[in-house]
């Protein structure tokens, strides 16, 4: 292989062909592929030893199923056709990414036992919701309607009790 063949100014590279004449994938496609591989590698390492359903401890199966569903939903949501607006495309990919983090944190709250990790999961939920809201507002998008938070143990909506009315017979201190 000559030094000329490795230079970016090589006619083959400028034409979108590899040194062997094969068509090169587009840059956005390469980025998506690299991002997917990075995530798959990271989560594969986290789940090592639990690669098959038969090797998964029964108590962990619901958590892994929820986590995997959140990952698939997040990855599908991040596949965005470029709109020509960098800001809009950024938010369109980051919002499902943040929502995926929220869903994974909710699974930790439902099934996890480590108090420090549960607190971190709660912080992730709050932080990611705030960032989703900030991105939507920055783009002038409307916000989804508010809903009650699910109960961690039963995943049912908790009743919202009305706020007590302030007492009118409170005395001011001098």
Task: Please report whether residue 31 resides in a domain.
Answer: no
pLDDT at 127: 95
Mean pLDDT by 10 residues, the chain (174 residues): 49 54 62 60 50 68 93 93 94 95 95 95 95 93 77 47 44 46
d(CA 144, CA 156): 20
- Identify the domain containing residue 98 by its residue range: 58-138
pLDDT at 100: 95
Following CA atoms 81, 97, 134, 125 in sequence, which dihedral angle do they give, to the nearest 10 degrees? 160
Task: Please report whether residue 91 resides in a domain.
Answer: yes
Classify each residue of 78-102 as buried b or exposed e, where b means 16 or more C-beta atoms within 10 Å of its C-beta. Answer: bebeeeeeeeeeebbbbbbbbbbbb
pLDDT at 16: 56
Domain count, the chain: 1
Long-range contacts of 39-45 (CB under 8 A, 24+ apart): 39/71, 39/75, 43/71
Task: Please report whether residue 7 resides in a domain.
Answer: no
- DSSP, collapsed to helix, strand or coil, labels residue 93 as helix
DSSP classification of residue 147: -
């Amino acid at each position: 292989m000559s030094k000329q063949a490795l230079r970016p100014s090589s006619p083959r590279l400028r034409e979108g062909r590899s040194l062997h004449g094969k068509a090169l994938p587009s840059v956005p496609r390469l980025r998506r592929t690299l991002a997917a591989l990075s995530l798959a590698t990271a989560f594969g390492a986290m789940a090592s030893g639990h690669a098959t359903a038969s090797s998964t401890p029964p108590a962990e199966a619901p958590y892994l199923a929820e986590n995997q569903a959140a990952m698939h939903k997040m990855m599908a949501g991040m596949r965005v056709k470029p709109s020509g607006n960098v800001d809009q495309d950024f938010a369109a990919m980051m919002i499902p990414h943040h929502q995926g983090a929220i869903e994974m944190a909710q699974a930790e709250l439902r099934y996890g036992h480590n108090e420090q990790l549960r607190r971190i999961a709660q912080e992730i939920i709050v932080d990611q919701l705030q960032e989703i809201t900030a991105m939507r507002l920055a783009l002038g998008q409307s916000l989804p309607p508010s809903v009650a938070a699910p109960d961690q143990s039963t995943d049912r909506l908790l009743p919202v009790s009305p706020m007590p009315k302030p007492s009118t017979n409170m005395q001011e201190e001098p």
